[in-house]
Structure formats: structure tokens, C-alpha cells
Amino acid sequence: MAKTIMVIDDSASIRQVVNITLKKAGYDVVEACDGRDALGKLTGQKINLMVCDVNMPNMDGISFLKALKASQGYRFTPVIMLTTESQESKKQEGKEAGARAWVVKPFKPEQMLEAVSKLILP
């Protein structure tokens, strides 16, 4: 059975690009347009990994990450932050919130797939 990855980004084009990249590698993909939408879609289904943007409306990536780590069901789900931001202070903020990797846009598909295969839960 294929593993499921949730992609959270307010940009439809980024969601599509990540979606296609992951689907071609054999993963199932669930999409959400921001942190709040993502929390609403976490209804007990098995998510093996999340790819999350940082700057989003309604609920940004760091706030979502904190909410996720405080939850029971998904606190151990690995999260890869996908953002245009490359400042060390921001990366540190993501690390402290519980992110497992920080991918700076524009990403190369092979970089994303390498990070996913390294971190995804069995």
C-alpha cells in the first residue's frame, strides 16, 4: 500500500508541483491550502509525512507545526518545511517547533524525494 503525504501550501501551483513529484515516485498525496485547513483534514487517517509551507494565511507553518506537535495523533509525523525563506534564524525557529528538514524553494524534485525517503514513516 502506498504511503500518504500531506502537502500544505497556499500556492496552488506549488501544491500541484509537489503533488506530481511525489505521485510519480509512488506516494499518495493529500493537499491543504494552509495550517487551519490541514488541521481540519487530519481526521485520523494515516499520514506518513507532511510537506508544509511557512508563510501562509489563516495559520502559518510554524503555528501549524506547534499545533501538530501538541496533538496526540500526529505528534510523531515528520514534517518537512518548504519555503522561500533561507535565514538561519527562521530555520532555527522551525527546528525548535519540531520540523525535521528545511527545503528552500525552488526545490529540485530529486532533493525533495531524497528528503522524503529519508524521513517518511514506515
Contact residues: another protein, CB under 8 A: 9, 11-14, 16-17, 20-21, 24, 54-55, 83-87, 91, 94-95, 99-109, 111, 114-115, 118
Nearer to another protein, 46 or 95 (CB): 95
47/102 Cα distance (integer angstroms): 19
CB of 84 to another protein, least distance (A): 4
Q: How far is CA 95 from CA 2, 100, 101, in A?
A: 28, 7, 8
Between strands 101-104 and 49-52, the pairing is unpaired
CB of 100 to another protein, least distance (A): 6
Nearer to another protein, 38 or 101 (CB): 101
Nearer to another protein, 6 or 93 (CB): 93
CB of 38 to another protein, least distance (A): 18
CB of 40 to another protein, least distance (A): 23
Nearer to another protein, 4 or 83 (CB): 83
